[in-house]
Amino acid sequence: MTKNHRGPIIRMAPDDSHGAGGIQCCWCRCCTCIHIEFLKTLPGAVKVAETIISGLIQSLLINYGLRYSATIGSAFEGSLTTSSACFLTSAVLLACYVVSEKSYRLIKASLFEIMFNALACFLNLSSASYLAFSTKMFLWAQYYITPGFDVYPAMTAAYMMSGVVGVLYGADAYFSFRNYRSGR
């Protein structure tokens, strides 16, 4: 048995198969270069969820945690850096996937998607656990003493959403790996 050391072979659909793309408008299709159908698939829904949740985490951290970043410590900085990087990269990938079906097929079949999702999974899960520890350790007492102290619930929501998005990135890494191994 001989092994093929050339790597995966990517087969592209012919260009005339893109007629289903775009937006149906009365009797014709507009913007056929846009790949809206991607958003209706499981990988599309996962990528949209990753982008939205990462943006929400970033918003919570900036709006509520920035004043207490010295109290929370490096867990705040690590979580903010992770959510910002994942939000930006996921948003760019989502935009590329929606604009071009060819980009979606090429990027999805590459190692980049696997490595990014696996790294984002690890970083989100580790930053969630570190932020959870710091939130419980440094903000819990202030929450019970100070009326209207809304930083503790916001940071709790941030680390819980970081855990959820970490699991989503893990699932996306698994789907990307399966896609990569299938040789599409």
Label residue 29 exposed, middle or buried (CB < 10 Å: 0-12, 13-18, 19+): middle
- Span 19-32, pLDDT tens digits: 466 666 676 666 66
Identify the pLDDT of residue 177.
93
Where along the chain do its domains lie? 38-181
pLDDT digits (tens, 9 = 90+) for 168-179: 999 999 999 998
Q: How far apart are CA 79 and CA 126, in angstroms?
A: 9
Residue whose C-alpha is closest to residue 56's, from 183, 184, 157: 157
Can you list the positions of beta strands (E) in 3-122? 23-25, 28-30
- Contact (Cβ atoms closer than 8 angstroms) between residue 151 and residue 32: no
Rounded to two decimals, the pTM is 0.82
CB contact at 8 A, 162 and 131: yes
The yes-or-no verdict on residue 15 having pLDDT over 80 is no
Question: For residue range 36-78, what is the model confidence (pLDDT) as tens digits?
Answer: 888 999 999 999 999 999 999 999 999 999 999 999 999 999 9
Q: How many CA atoms lie within 13 A of 101 on its CB side?
A: 21
Query: Mean pLDDT of all residues in the chain?
Result: 87
- In the chain, the amino acid numbered 135 is T
Q: Is residue 108 very low, low, confident or very high in pLDDT (cuts 50, 70, 90)?
A: confident
Judged against a pLDDT cut of 80, whether residue 86 lies above it is answered with yes
